[in-house]
Structure 1
Amino acid sequence: MDHTKYDATFLLIDEDLKPALTISEAQALKPIQKKFMESYLQHRDSMPLEKWLHTEMAENLPDHSSEEITQMSKEILTALQMAEEKKISLERAIENGQSKESWFARETITATSYMSVQEASVYLQGLDAALADANASLYRTIRTQAGAGPISQNPNLDGFIAEQYHAQTFNLNAKASGSPYRAKVLDPVDGKYAKNSVDIVITDGSGKVVRRYQSKYCKDAEATAKAFEHGDYRGQQKLVPQGQEQNIGKKASTIIKAPDGTSSTPLSKEQAKQLQNEAQSGKWNDLNWNEYKTKDLAIGIGKQAGQAALMGAAVGVGFSVAHKVWNGEEIKGEELVETAIVSGADFGVKTAVAGALKVGAEKGIITAIPKGTPAATIANIAHVGIENAKIIGKMANGELTIKEGFEKMEQTTVATVVGIAASTKGVAIGATIGTVFGPVGTAVGGLIGGTLGYMAGSKVGETITKAAQKIRKKAAETVKSIGDSVCRAASSVKSSISNFCSGFRSLFSW
């Protein structure tokens, strides 16, 4: 059937994700999910959760050793505990007036405090690239057919700050990417600047100057252009505030750039003035430039995580499959499941769901989640899927508006990313984020969320799955508006991590 004749917002992801999650696979997983949930409800008051999980998984995976079962169980419980901890931390921060992006930045800076500058940069870039790749993968399918001493009080201090800003952000990018080039602001001789003297130079690995820059940070483009007319700056490139370059000339640039493409971060006149005001008012945060960069990058990553949540909301295939597989099914103790998800005391429920999904993966039932996928990754898929289903339920009954619901979903994603980053090392961070928030994790998470709804009773299940289909249309509309930036970011990732980070920082707000 050509669905597009009846639904103008039919998403191609319905077809593209079929290999990731089929009805036959969901049917095969169903008895395992049912067995795990009924067993948990039966033993929840008589057996410690850790012992129950180990026992149930061992019974369902007889070919695995006791040590393997212990490791799986430990990973599931640890991952869910971390996810819950970060969820609560973010909720408290928001209650105190903090944004999710600034909370993300604080948590990330804490996590990288023991690292060197280069290690922290690479660490953050790994998170950055992984989220961008997950977002881009989803968007490709979510498309419809339709110095020392007192602070200077010089009124032009912002110009000097701008010079240092460009030199230092260039050097941070160079360190992170392994570039041999370095930038330097030239100091005055005997306290005085020579006429037409160079402001910033870029040198190669041997110390040879390869680029020279003259920086002018005037109040507007006209004033900046006139400033360049009052000197002989041949052999120097013009460095100007972001937003003024088009009115100054072809040789004007908002960044300094090395032959290998390494560059600084653009800075507007307004941003430079803000830094000046911070310094002269005594409110300058006496961190170093490295930490300024880390904070900004972390905030940008937090925004990417929020975008991932919107992408996930636009994917309805998992909920659709849950409806087809679980509609009319009953389990023993469904009222206990409903109480758990309504009250929020759902740690045991999430544990049972994650355990069943891990067993399904090890048995080769859900082919998109291969055998050997870390149990922690699967636990995070379960956590996000269930949290989003609970949010959708609140949106359906009017407790949350569409906008508030999307914001809650974004918070879930941001908190989960922080939990993954805090407990995962090296390249595994990117792989975990890509699985949890990419098409596979999103589709399976929808199945899990929809399934839990039906486990809480047919009425709850129907409410959640129907609402999910309505909400996905709203999410798809929002996704369209951010799609271009997601694709641009993805293109930069493919080019190189260094170039991606440079482009991604255009999202930052000061």
Structure 2
Amino acid sequence: MAEEMITKKKEYLTESEARSVKELFKKYLKLYKEKDPETSDKEWLEQLFRTELPEMTEEEIKKDAEDVVEAIKTFDENLASCNEAAKKGISKENWLADKLQEASVGMSVNEYGKVLQQMDDVLYAKNMELADALSRSADGHIMMSPNLDGNIAENMIAKTTELSASLQGKNISVEVLESHAANSVDVRAINHETGQYQNYQLKFGKDAKATIQLLERGNYNNQRIVVPSEQLEEVRAYFKEKGSSKTITDHIEAWGVEGKSFTKEEMKALQERAQSEGIAPEIDYSHYQTKDLAMSIGKNAGVMALQAAAVTTGLNVATKIFQGEKVDEDELVEIAIKTGADTSIKTVTAGTLQVAIRKGIIKFIPKATPAGVIANIACVGIENVKILAKIASGDLSVTKGLDQMGRVTTSMVGGLCGMAKGAAIGASMTAWVPVIGPGLAVASGFAGGMVGYFAGSKVGDKIYSAGKKVAGAAKTVAKTAWNGIKSAGRAVSSGIKKAVGKVASFFGF
């Protein structure tokens, strides 16, 4: 695979780290309840950040506090809008397509189409990560390595080669095979005119020595090796000295079609440039195509919600740290879960996550993640735990609960895209890439589970039991939905590539 770990895998969130977060939440909840009623949530967050994160400048403090408050407000408005649309028979996919259109004001049709394509690609890749993690898990408890960019790396390298083929008018496809068996092929280039194919193995270790070690551990006969461009010379020299005849390169080249090469740093950064490299000249995305892509994004968001519901890691950790501890009901939390009056709890949870992430207590979410994105994690966690509470009380069926969870994630995506208008959407999108997929599932699950226990031990236990029940149902439904997304995704990509070929031909490429 493009990214493999030599060290032992570790948990997303250890019990020790989780206990530290719990103590922060307990402390901040008390501070929030003691605040002057005249003090706004924004002012309270500013004071919290001044005290707990003294390294922040006053300007950063004010901006982060404002971003958290605005993100919570936007999320709640979007969820209400999405729920209202559902009552009128409008699907969450259609709702999101309209929301994306609103956010695109000021963009050309071409710019909008490119942003949608990129967003769809990333959501698809993150869904792939979730599907892979769940396929290895019997009970929804997933493990991680610190590097989550492997699938995206493979997809980026494959995509740039396919785009190059389209620009040349050649009927060549490059497929990421998604196989995890020992020595299996990562990427396959296929010439549909001749039926020939070429197999590629991608190895992106942290440096050349790590990449060489990964290659030495496998048997990749009849596969061409692709490595980071800055490591190519050293890796080639090593195997040449051994007398090896391996074909080692930093890009895919097949039948005159040449894809792009990438450095390890570029793969880790998941930069927008790398995602869209080779798309020039301008692509004429028609209204139908952008609507189609927007709908695909909505479907990806829905599948991500289902797969996230099947992940029990966050709930498991939350339950472990409260085991044997009698927790008295906190009225503010209990009201939030039972009545939906939860802005205060979302504010405290977002503030807690912000401090925990900035201090490095929660390590798997990057410290530079924007405050508005962190607030959305809190919102998803709180909303989902409210849904689990209704399922636990018998007020909501598991099926309807999963549907509502789908709206929660869709509302989050709509809000994150709407945080920046026009061309800035492309830049804002990359900010939340690291925390969607498995990261979002674990973080929001833990946040919600933790808050559930602060409503009382009995409430927390019931929410945990409901979560396990939902996870079992979600895994089955998610698998079917994911298979559908994979088929639909290929159809959308095919349509876009045809458009690229037509425009490229017009420009003489």
TM-score (norm 2): 0.64
Q: Which residue in 2 is equivalent to 1:405?
A: 401
Q: What per-residue deviation string (whole Å, max 9, x for no partner) do you get for residues 332-355 of structure 1?
A: 870121112221111111011011
Q: Which residue in 1 is equivalent to 2:350?
A: 354
Return the alpha-carbon distance in structure 2 between the equivalents of residues 501 and 434 of structure 1: 23
Q: What per-residue deviation string (whole Å, max 9, x for no partner) do you get for residues 304-350 of structure 1?
A: 11000001001001001001113455678701211122211111110
Q: Please point out which of 374, 385, 405 is paired with 1:389.
A: 385
Q: Please point out which of 54, 59, 69 is paired with 1:67.
A: 59
Q: Please point out which of 356, 368, 371 is paired with 1:372.
A: 368
Return the alpha-carbon distance in structure 2 between the equivalents of residues 145 and 20 of structure 1: 14
Q: Please point out which of 71, 83, 89 is paired with 1:97.
A: 89
Superposed, 1:140-155 pairs within 5 Å as 140-143=132-135
Q: CA deviation at 1:386?
A: 1.1
Matched to 1:49, the amino acid is: D
Quickly say closer, same or farther: Cα 1:304–1:45, change in 2 above 3 A.
Answer: same
Return the alpha-carbon distance in structure 1 between the equivalents of residues 316 and 369 of structure 2: 25
Could you tell me whether the CA contact under 8 Å between 1:311 and 1:476 is conserved in 2?
Answer: yes
Q: Which runs of 4+ in 1 moved over 6 A?
A: 177-181, 330-333
Quickly say closer, same or farther: Cα 1:29–1:17, change in 2 above 3 A.
Answer: farther
Matched to 2:84, the amino acid is: R
More divergent stretch after superposition (98-107 vs 360-369): 98-107
Superposed, 1:281-300 pairs within 5 Å as 290-300=286-296
Secondary structure of 2:347's aligned partner: helix
Q: CA deviation at 1:292?
A: 2.0
Q: Percent identity?
A: 36
Could you tell me whether the CA contact under 8 Å between 1:130 and 1:434 is conserved in 2?
Answer: yes
Secondary structure of 2:286's aligned partner: helix
Matched to 2:433, the amino acid is: G
Matched to 1:448, the amino acid is: A
Alignment of 1:86 onto 2:85: no
Provide structure 2 residue ranges, at least 5 long, that are not aligned to the other structure: 1-7, 139-162, 172-192, 194-255, 259-283, 499-509
Return the alpha-carbon distance in structure 1 between the equivalents of residues 34 and 135 of structure 2: 44
Could you tell me whether the CA contact under 8 Å between 2:289 and 2:496 is conserved in 1?
Answer: no
TM-score (norm 1): 0.64
Q: Which residue in 2 is equivalent to 1:437?
A: 436
Superposed, 1:16-27 pairs within 5 Å as 18-27=10-19
Quickly say closer, same or farther: Cα 1:431–1:332, change in 2 above 3 A.
Answer: farther
Quickly say closer, same or farther: Cα 1:380–1:17, change in 2 above 3 A.
Answer: farther
Quickly say closer, same or farther: Cα 1:180–1:138, change in 2 above 3 A.
Answer: closer
Q: CA deviation at 1:429?
A: 4.1
Could you tell me whether the CA contact under 8 Å between 2:328 and 2:456 is conserved in 1?
Answer: no
Q: Which residue in 2 is equivalent to 1:448?
A: 447
Q: Which residue in 1 is equivalent to 2:305?
A: 309
Alignment of 1:422 onto 2:418: yes
Secondary structure of 1:142's aligned partner: helix
The number of residues matched between the two structures is 359
Q: Please point out which of 95, 98, 103 is paired with 1:111.
A: 103
Return the alpha-carbon distance in structure 2 between the equivalents of residues 336 and 477 of structure 1: 36
Quickly say closer, same or farther: Cα 1:427–1:107, change in 2 above 3 A.
Answer: closer
Q: Please point out which of 287, 291, 314 is paired with 1:318.
A: 314
Provide structure 1 residue ranges, at least 5 long, that are not aligned to the other structure: 1-15, 147-176, 182-202, 205-209, 212-236, 238-258, 262-287, 504-510
Q: CA deviation at 1:90?
A: 1.0
Return the alpha-carbon distance in structure 1 between the equivalents of residues 21 and 493 of structure 2: 42
Return the alpha-carbon distance in structure 1 between the equivalents of residues 497 and 400 of structure 2: 31
